[in-house]
Amino acid sequence: MERPFGYTKKQLATRTGVAVGTIKKDIEAIRESGFEVSCDKKYCYGFEVDRRYNDLKDLLEFSEKDQLLLLNALDTLSKDSKHAEKLKRKLASMYDYTRIGRTTLRKPYLTKVDLLTRAKKEKKQIVLLDYRSSNSNEISDRRVEGFDPNIHDDVLQAFDVDKKKLRHFRISRITRLRITDDPWQYEKKHEVIATDPFRIVERKQVTVHLRLKVGAYNELVERFPLTQSYITPDGKDEGVYDFQCQVNFRFIGLTNFILGFYHQLVEVVEPESLLEHLKEEMKKMKF
């Protein structure tokens, strides 16, 4: 999908680390599933009709309704199962298209991921061209060493060569990227840091506990689908949900949600630092 008719069976086998025979069987399986696969004069393979991409996307993802039914089924059948919780997190991660959209299956996005993966493998510095930063409200080029591209979280963890510090970037906010000829110089400083359900990469995290009405529950999981794994029905009150998980200590993402939908919240249970943070943020609000 990323590069139709760009690879032979042997090249596909090399890129994916399997035998050529495995690729042959995969192509046969794809054809048996109803997709038109062919090769050109150079024996490079691709999907024959562009319309089939839409069919393929339907196979690769569940609808939002499908996801909700599966999550509810896991809650009902395996309330005390740690494995069920892992499955819920995996499902939320795999099919989180609400924030990114279906761009993850489109050629420009896949091209970026392909280049990021290649740069990591070759340990080459890259330039993120026209990166749209929400923090600085600027569009600029960033020279980085991208050591952890994560398509599910839409996050690239990298070392910023100019600022000499670890940074994370949203892949979808990168307009284009260029692989340079310069090798990594700061590999010893590369460190993968945990990403919270609000897609904030932060070493320091704190536990939060909120009680939500149905409206707040809906808004939270629709805006931040990864939070679904940390929400359970309240044990006492009907129509109330408990949200408990580790988030970044600056409460980025969570703050905007609470202030925007405070009327749908039952209670901010903990921590006290979150309550103090919200009070300070409210003082800064001007209209």
**Backbone angles phi and psi of 249, in degrees to 5:** -65, -15
Summarised one tens digit per residue, pLDDT across range 171-207 is: 889 999 999 999 999 999 999 888 888 888 888 999 9
pTM of the complete model beyond 0.85: no
CB 126 within 8 A of CB 116: yes
Summarised one tens digit per residue, pLDDT across range 209-233 is: 999 999 999 999 988 888 988 999 9
Band of residue 137 on the pLDDT scale cut at 50, 70, 90: confident
Q: Residue ranges of the domains in the chain?
A: 9-60, 64-95, 105-189, 205-284
d(CA 115, CA 229): 31
Which CATH code for domain 105-189? 2.30.30
Mean pLDDT calculated for residue range 91-117: 62
**Backbone angles phi and psi of 218, in degrees to 5:** -60, -45
Band of residue 94 on the pLDDT scale cut at 50, 70, 90: low
269 sits in which H/E element: strand 265-270
Mean pLDDT calculated for residue range 71-75: 68
Residue listed under structure tokens 């794809």 = 30
Fold: same for 105-189 and 205-284 = no
* Helix pair 82-94, 64-77: axis angle to 10 deg: 170
Higher pLDDT, 74 or 281: 281
Which CATH code for domain 205-284? 3.30.70
CB 261 within 8 A of CB 283: no
